[in-house]
């Protein structure tokens, strides 16, 4: 009887370890260093870049392939390197992320769309990524919105760029073992332009209107996105904070008690008409000064 109980206990412990191992294997936690299996594709790509078989271009050079209102297939042997600027950890982005050309003082960006959720586990903020671009497409996910995007396919009816498929990702998208600390580009509201789309920026000397006191980041009656106005304390400029109704912070109350800074990603509304800022996290909203109301 005791032998059976001991055997059952041992089996339970072994099963527990097995379950834990399975969970760890299936998770996409960011490793401190990348193993040989994951690095095989990157090693091969870097070898081709070094030998001259593949040309490593800047983001700005890659964007020269962009043709407005068209989905253009990239047929050249080229690749691009960038640093992830956005995160879907809070659900405010979905199956997409932006890369910028430098961790500090960025000058150019690209949007990447892929059929993969929870990309923050693999492509975390600041992660250095390489993209092998041959046979991928460059264009816009919403034709005419001017958000230049890399994807794996396109919609033949309207030329919208579609996501890289799960089968395309391993052959085209690679992360290195490097993660840099991004320094947000500091801007006043009046300085924001379309050139900042996709960049991690910090809006200076801003506040939410006092009329939003008690309101949450997302209007509970909205199906998809909510827009909240931002005021400048330095001039009469205003801007829009847009948040997804699927964001984990949707019910958090807006900090209207003071003024300060808001860091996030400059983007466009779904219809492409207006510039907005999207948060990676509400930790990037810091209202530590006195309000500037008259």
Pair (73, 100) in one structural domain? yes
Decide if pLDDT at 271 tops 90: no
- Does residue 7 lie in a domain region? no
d(CA 126, CA 103): 7
For the chain, the domain total comes to 2
Pair (170, 232) in one structural domain? no
Pair (151, 204) in one structural domain? no
List beta partners, residue 203. 187, 262
Pair (49, 171) in one structural domain? yes
Of the spans 19-23, 47-51, 144-148, which averages the highest pLDDT? 47-51
Write down the mean pLDDT value for the chain: 89
Pair (82, 167) in one structural domain? yes
Which tokens belong to 169?
């990702």
Could you tell me the CATH number of the domain that includes residue 54? 2.40.50
Tell me which of 154, 179, 204 is where a domain ends.
179
Share of the chain above pLDDT 90, in %: 82
Pair (40, 163) in one structural domain? yes
List beta partners, residue 161. 154
The lowest-confidence range among 21-25, 161-165, 229-233, 260-264 is 21-25
pTM (2 d.p.)? 0.87
- Does residue 11 lie in a domain region? no
Pair (93, 142) in one structural domain? yes
Pair (144, 253) in one structural domain? no
Provide the domain limits for residue 251.
185-289
Tell me what the mean pLDDT of segment 55-77 comes to: 97
User: Residue 54 — φ and ψ, nearest 5°?
Assistant: -125, 135
- Does residue 256 lie in a domain region? yes
pLDDT value at residue 213:
98
Tell me what the mean pLDDT of segment 146-175 comes to: 95
Pair (115, 90) in one structural domain? yes
In 125-284, where does DSSP find H-type helix? 169-172
Share of the chain above pLDDT 70, in %: 87
- Does residue 5 lie in a domain region? no
- Does residue 50 lie in a domain region? yes
Pair (47, 120) in one structural domain? yes
Tell me which of 179, 204, 222 is where a domain ends.
179
Q: Which residue has the higher pLDDT, 32 or 141?
A: 141
Tell me which of 179, 206, 236 is where a domain ends.
179
User: Residue 160 — φ and ψ, nearest 5°?
Assistant: -70, 140
- Does residue 119 lie in a domain region? yes
pLDDT value at residue 270:
81
Pair (236, 163) in one structural domain? no
Q: CA torsion 125→126→127→130, rounded to 10°? A: 110
10 Å CB burial of residue 247 (0-12, 13-18, 19+) is buried
Do the Cβ atoms of 232 and 261 come closer than 8 Å? no
Pair (174, 198) in one structural domain? no
- Does residue 27 lie in a domain region? no
- Does residue 1 lie in a domain region? no
For 161-184, write each residue's pLDDT tens digit: 999 999 999 999 999 999 999 999
For 5-39, write each residue's pLDDT tens digit: 444 444 444 444 343 433 333 333 444 455 555 67
């Amino acid at each position: 009887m005791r032998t059976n109980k001991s055997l059952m206990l041992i089996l339970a412990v072994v099963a527990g370890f097995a379950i834990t191992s399975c969970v760890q294997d299936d998770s996409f936690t960011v490793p401190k260093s990348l193993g040989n299996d994951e690095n095989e594709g990157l090693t091969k790509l870097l070898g081709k870049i070094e030998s001259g078989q593949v040309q490593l271009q800047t983001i700005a050079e890659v964007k020269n392939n962009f043709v407005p209102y068209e989905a253009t297939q990239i047929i050249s042997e080229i690749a691009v390197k960038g640093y992830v600027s956005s995160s879907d950890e809070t659900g405010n982005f979905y199956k997409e992320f932006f890369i910028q050309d430098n961790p500090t003082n960025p000058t150019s960006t690209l949007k990447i769309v892929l059929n993969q959720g929870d990309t923050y586990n693999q492509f975390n903020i600041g992660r250095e990524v390489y993209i092998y671009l041959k046979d991928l497409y460059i264009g816009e996910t919403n034709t005419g919105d001017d958000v230049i995007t890399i994807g794996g396919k396109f919609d033949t009816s309207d030329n919208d760029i579609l996501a890289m498929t799960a089968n395309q990702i391993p052959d085209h998208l690679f992360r290195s073992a490097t993660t840099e600390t991004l320094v947000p580009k500091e801007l006043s509201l009046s300085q924001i332009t379309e050139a900042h789309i996709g960049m991690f920026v910090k809006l200076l000397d801003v506040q939410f209107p006092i009329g939003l006191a008690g309101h949450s980041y997302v209007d509970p009656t909205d199906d998809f996105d909510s827009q909240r106005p931002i005021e400048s304390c330095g001039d009469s400029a205003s801007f829009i904070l847009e948040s997804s109704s699927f964001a984990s912070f949707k019910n958090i109350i807006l900090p209207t008690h003071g003024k300060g800074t808001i860091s996030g990603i400059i983007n466009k509304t779904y219809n492409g008409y207006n510039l907005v800022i999207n948060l990676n996290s509400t930790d990037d909203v810091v209202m530590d000064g006195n309000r500037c109301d008259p």
